Structure formats: C-alpha cells, structure tokens
Amino acid sequence: MTIPADTKQKAAGRFQVLRLVARNKLALAAVMFLMLVVLCAIFGPWLMGNLIDKPNFRARNMAPFSLAQGWAYVLGADTLGRSLLARLIVGAQNTLGIALFAVFFSMVIGGFLGLIAGYSRGLLSSVILRVADIVMSFPSLLLALIVLFSLGPSVTNLIIVLAVTRIPIYLRTTRAEVLEVRERMFVSAAMALGAGHMRIVFRHIAPIVLPTLVTIGAIDFATVVLAESSLSFLGLGIQAPEFTWGAMVATGRGYLSNAWWIAFWPGLAILLTTLSLNILSNWWRTYADPQQRWRIELARSKKGIPEKRT
C-alpha cells in the first residue's frame, strides 16, 4: 500500500516540529510540565480517591517534606488535614476544564461573529462591532465580578462570564483576517462560479482564519486561567465542595504566617502553568510566522544541526 505524498509531508512536518521543540530547552520543559498537568487533570480523580475530602486531624497544617503520614502528604496538609498533593492533582481538572470551555466557547462565538462582521459590509457588521466595543469598554475582571455577584457564583456562570469577556479578542482578529482574505483572487473566482455567501465564508475563508484563532486561543488560555484563579480567590468562582487552585490559595491566605504551604503550592502551580503556556505559545507563534521562523532555524544551526534546504 502506497502512502500518499501529502500524508508523508504532514508527518514530516509534525516530526520537524517535535525535533525543534526538543532542541529548545524552555519549550521542551514547558511541554513536559503541561503534559504532566493534563495527565493529572485526566487521571487525578481516579488515582487520588477520597484523599481530597478525607480529613485527618492528626495531620492538620502538617508541614511539607514529611512522610510521617504517607507519600500523599509530602507537600503538607491543609487546615483539615487533607493532602495538598491530592488536592493539587485533582484541582487541575477544574482549573483547566473551566479555562478550556471558556476559551472554546469564546473562540467559536467570536470567530463566527468575526466572519460575519468581516464579510458583510452592512448594518449587521456595524452592530456587531459596537457590541464588541461595549464589552471591551469594561475591564474584563470588573465585568466578571459584576455579573457573578448578580447571578451568583457557579461553574456555568463562571464559564459564561469568562467566555463573554474574551469574545471581542477573537471577533476583532477574525474580522481583520477576513477583510484581507475576502479580497484575494480565489474568493472572486468562487463568486464568479456562483458559490453562495455561506459556502464562501465557511468553505474558503474560515479554514484560512482558523490557525490564527487556534494560536490566539493557546496564548489566551493562560490569561483565562489567571482570571479564573482571581475570581475563585475572591470567592466568586467555583464553590465548595468543588475547588480550583485559586480557591485553594484563598483557603490558605489566612494561614500565611504559620502554614504558608497551604497557599504556596497552588500558587506555584498557577505560576508554572501560565508560564509554560506563555513560553509554548510564544515559541509556536514564532514557528508559525514564516518571517520569524528564521530565529528558530538560526538557533538550530548554531547547535551544529545542518538546515534542511528545499
């Protein structure tokens, strides 16, 4: 069975990306840490069992780096004696899950509205842009605070608020891309052949805009994680018995003087996750831009790896 040439080319492209990531120590470390966080989010609840809710008053405010109560307490315990390691692992699921849904919905809705606003030239485009301007005129965190205080804190409301505050970013980016793409020759050719507006937008223009939206979504993911953590820290995010890393920091803020580890470990997890996301997204943005990719190739050639000429 013969493998198609385009399939071989795609496989070679993916392998080249992996090799370039492996040559960049920061990008490789970011990928490995994010893979660890994702694995914790997927398998954490199954591995940890009841440790996240099981109180152990003998280990109340237990200091880290002690195995007196078992390996699960190596990072210490909180005010009820619950394992901080277990809660960190399980809390990754809620933290990443909320951010993932918020970014996905904001990308889909913002991208759809951006396609309409960029392709149409009438009143509908102006209305969409003015609504986006109204949303952007409010600080995103302040708008989220107002809405959550009015509707009440819950996972659904938190996802909706985070998604709504990020929609204008995807909307304006998509519109700017569509304004340029719709003037290209292949769009004029599709119109001349009698293609409808819906077919032109979703079959010809949307696939070109999608990679840009995915790149922005990867960059924006870290911002949404920080926003969710801030809202949970203020008590307007996810509510007990569910928890996120931000809620764990809020729990430990009253014990910073005598049990700093309760707030330190979830804060460190938030820091490392957002830092890894920023490092990886910046690397991908450089790689995806043909005008900037020479920086990666230059670093590759300096390490003695010959560049592949085509």
Q: Model pTM?
A: 0.80
pLDDT score for 308: 46
CA distance 90 to 129: 40
pLDDT score for 194: 80
Burial 215-241 (b: 16+ CB within 10 A, else e): bbbbbbbbbbbbbbbbbbbbebbbeee
pLDDT digits (tens, 9 = 90+) for 150-196: 877 788 888 988 898 899 999 999 999 888 888 888 888 887 888 77
pLDDT bin (cut points 50, 70, 90) of residue 309 is very low
Q: Among 8-22, 58-72, 259-273, which range has the highest average pLDDT?
A: 259-273
Q: Give the torsion through C-alpha atoms of 276, 98, 77, 79, to 10 deg.
A: 130
pLDDT averaged over every residue in the chain: 82
Say whether pLDDT at 99 is over 60: yes
Domains of the chain: 41-270 (1.10.3720.10)
pLDDT score for 156: 86
pLDDT bin (cut points 50, 70, 90) of residue 310 is very low
Return the percentage of the chain with pLDDT > 70, whole number. Answer: 87
> Within 13 Å of residue 296, how many CA atoms lie on the same side as its CB?
24
pLDDT digits (tens, 9 = 90+) for 190-213: 878 887 778 888 888 888 888 888
Say whether pLDDT at 118 is over 80: yes
Q: Among 46-60, 85-99, 196-210, 218-232, which range has the highest average pLDDT?
A: 85-99
pLDDT score for 1: 45
pLDDT digits (tens, 9 = 90+) for 234-250: 877 777 778 889 888 88
